[in-house]
Amino acid sequence: MSFALYIGGALIFIGGLIYGAVLLEVPTQWIAVGAIVMFGLSCLSAVKATRQKDQAE
């Protein structure tokens, strides 16, 4: 799978979490912190899943 698909899915997932947090009236600063942390973790997992393995010479 491509890196763009992982990031696209992560953004949709984070958007759903933000919407749920707004409905639960979570303070905005904590919503922002959670979104930033989730985006960072998703970038790390996307890179890990899509990186090319080094070829042995």
Q: Chain centroid to CA 23: how far?
A: 20
Helix H, strand E, coil C: the string for 6-40 is: HHHHHHHHHHHHHHHHHHCCCCHHHHHHHHHHHHH
Of residues 42, 44, 36, the one with CA closest to residue 18: 36
User: What are the extents of the domains in the chain?
Assistant: 25-49
Residue 55's pLDDT is what?
72
Neighbours of 27 (CB within 10 A): 9
Q: What is the pLDDT of residues 16-51, one digit of tens each?
A: 999 999 999 999 999 999 999 999 999 998 888 888
Q: Report the alpha-carbon distance of residue 12 to residue 19 in Å, rounded.
A: 11
Residue 15's pLDDT is what?
96
**Residue scoring higher pLDDT (53 or 5):** 5
pTM of the model: 0.80
Residue 57's pLDDT is what?
64
Whether the per-residue pLDDT at 11 is higher than 90: the answer is yes
